[in-house]
Amino acid sequence: YWEVTVILALSAVVPAVMAVLLVVYRRHFTVLATVRSVRRYVLTVVLSGVGLIALYVLVGWLQKDTGFTRPIDVSDLLN
């Protein structure tokens, strides 16, 4: 299964390399983002993360009686 290992490694390494390259070559980008667009981006990322966490907990809570081998509560879903 070495092929799966290579694919998984590349799927993690390629975005990391791209992020490093963007930081290194940041000074070559002459157009800077406005403060408003940066705030909107950060707000979108944070709200998306919170929404995904809430969706994960909701789906886990809805499956609490059938999808797990032991009784669970919300703290189990958040850990």
Alpha-carbon distance of 70 to 14, in angstroms, equals 39
Render each residue's pLDDT in the chain as its tens digit; 79 residues. Answer: 889 999 999 999 999 999 999 999 988 988 888 999 999 999 999 999 999 999 998 988 888 888 777 887 888 878 7
Alpha-carbon distance of 74 to 19, in angstroms, equals 35
Global pTM reads: 0.61
Determine the residue type at 6: V
Q: What is the pLDDT of residue 5?
A: 93
Q: What is the pLDDT of residue 21?
A: 96
DSSP of 6-64, one letter per residue? HHHHHHHHHHHHHHHHHHHTGGG--SPPPHHHHHHHHHHHHHHHHHHHHHHHHHHHHTT
Q: What is the pLDDT of residue 14?
A: 95
Closest CA to 52 of 78, 20, 31: 78
